A and B are shown apart, each in its own frame.
Chain A
């Protein structure tokens, strides 16, 4: 214990721990870089930061290994009666403690932030496992660094190792590498969680597989650092090699779009949870903490659509890529802001209505550019008319400079006629009938263009 305390003070352990913590805390607390709506999603998202943390921990290990050698005490130490493992253990444990603690403290910071938000925490076993593998992987990184630093005692080793592992991580993101049947990227602990998709989970089996491989690698690295002769070093590599041979064939295949490979849908997270009262508003279980904030603006959207023909009577959360389940149900997406909160709660009604007014069908294949821009102008007019939020931000998909004039022309019509125009548009847009531009824009564009 005394040796461990001394090593904590005089090795690089404390420094690298603080560096990792500073980096992790910055990603979690500042900038809203990570978006997550549940604890499991936070745990997966944090694994992304290992792209940076892993190489830094490895570099610190390599630098530490050089200390022992550059002081010229290595030979002296071999004369001591203590076994080599007992000599190495304090510094290896000191490194392991600080790097893994830095990761867990970062996670804790994110957790506190999540608990302070209205979001439901949604703490799951696969999420906990993913966090454990993340912390473990940093221990592996530091010990691998120790081994590499011992194997290549040079002043270029530590920075070189850090930058080369950076490159490997970046290269794995740039290329769909090598294997079509097993994703080699999963041998690293870095995993990019799918953006804003809180309903996924990292299967426990994969976490177990990664934990097994990372533990074997850490054990090999520890033994390698201990070994004083070539034979010992060769023996030390055996556990990692065996683990690699077992692990690799079990890794899932990569998908064409890369890093989301490992994630699967989580049925429990997707189970609908509904608010009390009518009309019915439902969200996924993982977002049930946000239901209270969401229900009023969504009911407001339902109310705005009341006058439309066969308007929806209930609403449910949908995923970004899938639309409403049926015409009687209004689908809406949840856009997350920083740490478990909603992004722009004031725009929920507007955004939901605009999505609801989207044409259900693609335009005919021979449609010209004017057809496209008229369709989106009509869509924008209809979506805006329901809330009358003319100044709502429209994003770069709505560049039509005719909007202001067209909207003025539309609202200049008698109220009854306005409602009829919108109803006709809605019927045609959702039913794939008629000509969207003719229906809504005939009167309007006539006066504009």
Chain B
């Protein structure tokens, strides 16, 4: 429990749950369709991943290193549980009159965005792990539209249709590389920001 609290997991859960519910509720009130627009869905998923990003390290990463724990395994497990929780959270909407998207879309986006978060944590340090999903959201929002070109599909994978192969490959790649990068321990010392 102390471990979870030190990593702000309760707050992260609250943030992810509240933001997702608020989005879902807002769309239920304002829209007449039965599926949330893919740009907003992608942003909701990115927001949930950013909440996870806050749990990727405690107050100081270098302190973690001093603990005699099997860190790579703990970290991989951490990501896996986060993935399961987020997928579950968004999948619940499939049972309601307003869904975030088809199941394939949700799982692909959660996996890809979470992978990118982990990758950013590995490359820039956990304090900056949210840079990745935020920048990707900006790209999605500005250039995001269904497109024929595979490169663009891969870049904006979060808003592509569920059956896009390039988008699926990009998300899977990010998930694998991100998990490996994060397991291998963040290189940068915490700067307190």
Residues in A lying within 8 Å of B, measured CB to CB: 23, 27, 33, 49, 51-52, 55-56, 59, 63, 66-67, 70-71, 154-156, 158-160, 162-164, 166-167, 169-171, 174-175, 177
Contact = CB atoms under 8 A, between A and B. Distances in A.
A159 B40 contact: no
Contacts of B15: 156, 160
Interface in B36-65: 37, 39-40, 43-44, 46-47, 50-51, 53-54
A159 B50 contact: yes
Nearest to B44: A167
Given A155-B8, A166-B138, A171-B26, A70 B192 contact: yes
A163 B50 contact: yes
Given A27-B142, A159-B134, A170-B141, A154 B46 contact: no
A23 B135 CA distance: 10
A49 B43 contact: no
A167 B43 CA distance: 7
Interface residues of B, number: 31
Grouping DSSP codes into helix (H, G, I), strand (E, B) and loop, the B interface class, with mixed when no group exceeds half, is helix
A23 B133 CA distance: 16
Contacts of B142: 27, 49, 51-52
Contacts of B30: 175, 177
B11 interface: yes
A403 to B, nearest CB: 24
A49 B143 CA distance: 11
Nearest to A70: B192
Grouping DSSP codes into helix (H, G, I), strand (E, B) and loop, the A interface class, with mixed when no group exceeds half, is helix
Interface in B100-130: 127, 130
A71 B44 CA distance: 31
A159 B130 CA distance: 6
A156 B51 contact: yes
Given A174-B40, A175-B31, A156 B138 contact: no
Given A71-B192, A155-B8, 5 more contacts: A51-B141, A162-B137, A163-B137, A170-B40, A174-B39
Contacts of B37: 170, 174
A215 B3 CA distance: 45
A59 B47 contact: no
A144 B155 CA distance: 31
Contacts of A175: 30-31
Nearest to B47: A163
B193 A67 contact: yes
Interface string B1-32: 00000001001100100010001001000110
A156 B11 contact: yes
Given A155-B8, A175-B31, A166 B130 contact: no
A155 B46 contact: no
B52 to A, nearest CB: 10
Contacts of A55: 138
